[in-house]
Structure 1
Amino acid sequence: MSLAGAFRARQFVRQSLWVVPLLGGVAGVALSGVDLWVEGLINLPPSWSYSAATANSVLSAAAAAMVGLIGFVVTIGVLVVQMATGTLSPRFMRLWYRDRLQKFVLAAFTATFTFAFALLRHVEADSVPDLGVSLVGLAVSIDLVLLLLYFDRFVHALRPVAVAAAMAEAGLAIEAEAGLAIEAEAGLAIEAEEDGLVASAGNDDQGAGLGEPDARILAPRSGAIQDVDIADLVRFAAARGQVCVIPHTIGDFVTAGSVLMEVHGAASETDLRRLRGMVSLGHERTIDQDPAFALRIMVDIAIRALSPAVNDPTTATQVLNHIDDLLLGIGSSDRAFRGTALDADGQVRLVVRTRSWSEYLDIGVTEIRQYGAASPQICRRLRAMLEDLRDGVPLARRAVVQSQLDALDRATDAAFADPVERALARMSDRQGLGATRSGETSDARG
């Protein structure tokens, strides 16, 4: 299986809701066989003995209860779809499918059902699987605890602010994990400790100077770039003296037959097939190597809250707290893959288009400013966020932040004709309304 095929298989397992429960069902049948084998080897105390009628009742009730609980979890899943469509972002559903607790709960319920149902076949008047009946009772008790944990998770984790916090945490983790090297202040490549790979500064020229490629790899089908196996691709290219250029950002949608990768250096048909297999395409973006997708989900939630049909600027302000966190983490990070990967000898082997700081800012700020320009709460929280970013990012990136502040000033002036309201909206406030910074008082309105 190619690397792209392995990635797609891994994505399928992570996002499907039936693979893990199916394995749980198989495990339940297998454990019933183990239980029957153990029953013949041990003698249980009399208090653990059951009559055939009692065993039948317990096992039948447990199996029926598990079917009901599985249906309850499925019902919650339907509610999640409705909630995500109405108040969150449809793109969040892809992440909800990955929830490990949800899959573990379904697997536990399915395992208990198949375990109880398999034991039912072996209940006879003179032979009762006493140990199995006791284990079914224990399993049902554990399943009820898991159900309570799952319900608690469902209630708390699907609030917009909780989703935003999870997205910010995921985006920061991706940004940290994506660092194949440390970017030096002087812009020189420094060897990283992992895989003998290094990464240099951002590649705005996108492989300029390499000349015409010796081969072009075309996209076999349309889809979004979900994953690039950077480490293996660099090792593969280094072994053959090649330089690979991917003229797309992770998350870009490419059409079938368009250029997916350019290869500089001699490459056989086998090489091209191997290289093609190191870039995975799918129907939609994933968050695995794309922190901008986490940012996109948060912005979607914020602008949905700002729509006239919802009119909930407080929710958008809370989401801005976590957008602030993610943007500050991205903007101040010196450890990240910036698009040019070198092998252990310092030779460029891979060039991938990466997002610039201004692009991240545009994603996180522009639409919220446009849709929330008439809300003093949004204007004030946006100003506080941009001032945080201006103070927290390196000097080279502050001019871009200042341009966003200037755009916010223009939007605020255009939205508020009254001088008092304009002065109110121009304040910096981490809470939107009610917590102006030191030195900014209500006197500023006049």
Structure 2
Amino acid sequence: MQQEDDLPLNWFLFKRITRGLWFLPALFSVFAVLVLAAAYFSTIFFADPIRPGNLPITVSQEAVESILSIVAASMLTVSVFALSTLVNLLANVSQSGTPRAVPLIVEDRRAQTSISVFIGAFLFSIVGIIGLSGEIYSTSGRLILFGATVVVVLAIVFSLIRWIGQISVVGRVGETIDRVEKATKDALERLGPAALYGCCRSTSVTGSGFAVRAERVGFVQHFDRERLQEIAEGHKLSIHVLARPGSYVDYDTILAQAAGEAPDDSLTSMRQAFLVGGERTFDYDPGYGLTILAEIARRALSTAVNDPGTAIDVIFSQTRLLGDWARSAYGEQAESKFGRISVEPVAPAELIAEAFGSISRDASASVDVTLAMVRGLKTLAKAAPSDFRKPAMQLAQEILARAEFSMKLPQDIAAVRAAVEELATAKATS
């Protein structure tokens, strides 16, 4: 079975389509119509007419139509209510967290499944009522329709209970932080050992070759390593990827350099292996997730919100993400799955800057948040000293400089200075 981090570009795009809010409702609606069609064509499989005495239960047309009418009327109301509630929750996420976190709520399978059941049950009932009114169902067809209706009602009850539990937490800042943290954790895991995306460590491209340049302005969202590997093997090339997911590119940006000779169509194929979009995404870009978490913290620190506790929660989430990743994956030996492709590994300094850099500027006057950042940097420096100590110390010095400029009380400045000095002398954890 193909791992998620090895998805070719076409499957990656298909996966993105399936995450759309419309996909599951459409799928459930198609399934509902197929069940009704099976009920209609049941005479092919069952001899008809079936005597009532041979049936486990007697199902009249009026009884089934009455149940379907109740389901249709209620599901229309519930579907409208669920969609309006979801819109309000998304607006709340944008206001309390950040608009960039909204796609994570929209793509949530639990919410999509509940709404899909409501819409699919409504369509199922409407089509069933139309069929019963036209008397197109035989005795066996009505029996199948009744059994399907019972299943639909049970699914509705389960989805309603599940939906009540979801709307009680979705939209809260803590829930938004948890979802962004999970998406960022998944993206960090997709980097693979040594943060190389399963490729070789960066090497200089020597000899004759050519450069693959971008043809549009945007951000690299994904690159198809399997396609690049096939091209490299077919033409005896060595390909060095310069634009990782999350990189901003324009018309002069070199996406990749190749050593060797290849026809012009291979250049086009290599360019098509890179997906460039108008915005960054969570899938293969952990820096984007860290940036979104930082946005939530910065909004919490604004004068309109003034919630330093949320900013501290974000800092602890980012510390946990980077610390766990550095201890489990970054120091591993990379076993390259794509031997002809090399890439520059994601540097810990980049991730630390995206996680804490913007927060340090907005929190320079808050002693509590500043101390939480220094504490988090100390944890990272101890967890992975070879990777995080140097960038952590550099950022800590910047934090101290901002604190000395912004804080008024000498006691606060002294506390920050002491925390930075403690970071400098911290020993690595075993």
Give the alignment's TM-score, normalised by structure 1. Answer: 0.80
Following superposition, the deviation at residue 145 of structure 1 comes to 1.9
| Distance across 2 between alignment mates of 1:377 and 1:23 | 49
In the alignment, is residue 118 of structure 1 matched against residue 98 of structure 2? no
- TM alignment of 1:41-120, pairs within 5 A: 48-120=57-129
1:216-254 deviations in Å (ceiling 9; x for gaps): 333233332111122442343134221223322311232
Q: 1:395 to 1:7 in 2, by over 3 A?
A: closer
CA deviation after TM superposition for structure 1 residue 337, in Å:
9.7
Q: 1:270 aligns with which of 265, 268, 271?
A: 265
Aligned to 1:152: 165
Measured in 2, the distance between the counterparts of 1:419 and 1:257 equals: 50
Is the contact made by 1:217 and 1:261 (CA closer than 8 Å) also made in structure 2?
yes
Offset of residue 300 of structure 1? 0.8
* CA distances 1:153-194 after superposition (whole Å, capped 9, x unpaired): 233243222322332333233322321x569xxxxx9xxxx9
**Code of the aligned partner of 1:382:** M
Any conservation in 2 of the 1:338–1:354 contact (CA below 8 Å)?
A: no
Measure the CA separation in 2 of the matches of 1:371 and 1:232. Answer: 43
**CA distance, structure 1, for counterparts of residue 114 and residue 343 of structure 2:** 40
Post-superposition Cα deviations, 1:382-427, rounded to whole Å, max 9, x if no partner, equal: 1211111111113353122122222222222333332334445567
Which amino acid is the alignment partner of residue 259 of structure 1? I
Structure with the largest fraction of helix: 2
Residues 229 and 415 of structure 1: is their aligned pair in 2 closer, same or farther, counting only changes over 3 Å?
same
Q: What SS does the corresponding residue of 1:224 show, helix, strand or coil?
A: strand
Q: Does 1:173 align with 2:186?
A: yes
Of the three residues 7, 17, 24, the one matched with 2:21 is 17
1:365 and 2:356 equivalent? yes
Who is 1:384 aligned against? Answer: 375
User: Using a 3 Å threshold, how does the CA distance of structure 1 residues 371 and 282 change in structure 2: closer, same or farther?
Assistant: same
Structure 2 residue runs of 5 or longer lacking an equivalent are: 1-6, 420-430
Does structure 1 conserve the Cα–Cα contact (< 8 Å) formed by 2:68 and 2:129?
A: yes
The residue number in structure 1 matching 2:217 is 222
- Distance of aligned partners of 1:405 and 1:335 in 2 relative to their CA distance in 1, 3 Å threshold: closer
The 5 A counterparts of 1:280-319 are 280-319=275-314
Aligned to 2:200: 199
How far apart are the structure 2 equivalents of 1:182 and 1:285? 22
| 3-state DSSP of counterpart to 1:121 | helix
Which range moved further: 102-111 or 287-296?
102-111
Number of the residue aligned with 2:341: 350
Give the percent of matched residue pairs that are identical in Structure 1 and Structure 2.
21
Q: 1:43 and 1:381 mapped to 2: Cα distance?
A: 76
Q: Give the partner amino acid of 2:181.
A: A
Q: What's the C-alpha RMSD, in Å, of the aligned pairs?
A: 3.3
Cα deviation digits, residues 309-342 of structure 1 (max 9, x gap)? 1111011111111111112134334448999967
C-alpha distance 258-388 of structure 1, shift in aligned 2 (>3 A):
closer
Q: Is this contact kept in 2: 1:62–1:136, CA < 8 A?
A: no
Q: 1:306 offset after TM fit, Å? A: 0.6
| Alignment partners' CA distance in 1, 2:113 and 2:61 | 32
d(CA) in 2 for partners of 1:327, 1:261: 28
What is the number of equivalent residue pairs in this alignment? 405
2-structure distance, mates of 1:356, 1:335: 10
The verdict on how the C-alpha distance between 1:323 and 1:94 changes in structure 2, with shifts beyond 3 A counting, is same
Q: Gaps (5+ residues) in structure 1? A: 184-188, 429-446
1:397-408 alignment, distance < 5 Å: 397-408=388-399
CA contact (8 A) 1:171 1:294 kept: yes
